[in-house]
Structure 1
């Protein structure tokens, strides 16, 4: 049922949001010269996939988790995109392809070994990663890997259609801080 909802909402979001996606791509060209950001992430069952987002940091920023990045790397447009969560819109493509869900544990980088080990131990990696979830609406980021993995496991243990809609609604209404960067909060 959730996969069907993911597919339907991702398709609708991409079709209806196409003008917004185009405008943000165009503005992003002037901001960084490369508006789309692609990065290998850990997917379901540790399978790698390429996550797609709007670029919020300068092109030469090191490929690290957001909480390890420098605040000075975020562009003016990037601040706006993160604050409004519009940087996540291109991930609807990942959802449409079945690599992600709208709701699930945020996909981490392969170099976040402590988080991967903890998620593996708790069975979190059996689920499709998501754009939002319990950890995101509670403001828990990847700087606390044990707490994040435990929160992800708690969410997955109780995830049904009602919780799915709850996390989406809370995210759209502005709950949670998104990807934290030092000095930004």
Structure 2
């Protein structure tokens, strides 16, 4: 059996178990969202899936319903004015991403892989094309997420996504999963306003040599 087929089976089993175990938490979050603000519980957004296909990613809604729909939060001038109190907590703990377990069950995402780009993030999509990162299932977390998340420049994020594609294996996936837990607890790399400005010296040096 191919690695991709094995990975899909593991994704399905783990996400199903996770959904069952976390169902009480889901219910509690749903109640918190509904009590604080009007609007749907889930936030749906068009994202880029495998082979540049489109799908609707699911998140717990963390913003008021008048917030911009197709702009990354870290690019908003003043994101705090749009984020609810419950939303701030969900974002801080990354629990707003939990509904993507459903996307994984449906086969639209994997547990580990490049984070799915917004449909209009053309620069990121184009950069990922250079490394074949658009040709695999996007993930709940990935190599770029544990190496900077929102702080990363687009070129670096795409480079790291390509590095994951090149090194895809069970060892790499387990490493990403364990490091994600560490990163979430430390809340590293989350930027709620402004653009990312982090680039590792190794990647910067590599790019300079190619000029």
Give the TM-score of the pair, scaled to structure 1. Answer: 0.92
1:19 and 1:178 map into 2 onto residues whose CA distance is 29
User: Is the partner of 2:178 in helix, strand or coil?
Assistant: helix
User: Is the partner of 1:141 in helix, strand or coil?
Assistant: helix
1:178 and 1:130 map into 2 onto residues whose CA distance is 17
- Equivalent in the alignment of 2:191: 180
1:143-182 correspondence to structure 2 within 5 Å: 144-173=153-182, 174=184, 177=188, 179-182=190-193
Structure whose CA Rg is larger: 2
In the TM superposition, what whole-angstrom CA distance separates every residue of 1:150-184 from its partner, at most 9, and x where no partner exists?
0100112112112212211222232553653117x
* Counterpart contact for 1:119–1:149, Cα < 8 Å: yes
1:55 aligns with 2:30: no
Moved more, 131-140 or 26-35: 26-35
* Counterpart contact for 1:105–1:124, Cα < 8 Å: yes
Residues 148 and 126 from structure 1, CA distance in 2 versus in 1: closer, same or farther, beyond 3 angstroms?
A: same
* Counterpart contact for 1:36–1:53, Cα < 8 Å: yes
Moved more, 32-41 or 142-151: 142-151
1:176 and 1:161 map into 2 onto residues whose CA distance is 25
Tell me which of 129, 137, 153 is aligned to 2:138. Answer: 129
Q: Give the aligned length.
A: 184
Q: Once superposed, what is the RMSD of the aligned Cα atoms?
A: 1.9
- Equivalent in the alignment of 1:92: 101
* Counterpart contact for 1:83–1:178, Cα < 8 Å: no
- Equivalent in the alignment of 1:71: 79
The alpha-carbon deviation at position 134 of structure 1 amounts to 1.2
Tell me which of 40, 45, 56 is aligned to 2:51. Answer: 45
- Equivalent in the alignment of 2:15: 10
2:189 and 2:34 map into 1 onto residues whose CA distance is 23
Give the TM-score of the pair, scaled to structure 2. Answer: 0.81
Deviating 4+ runs (over 4 angstroms): none
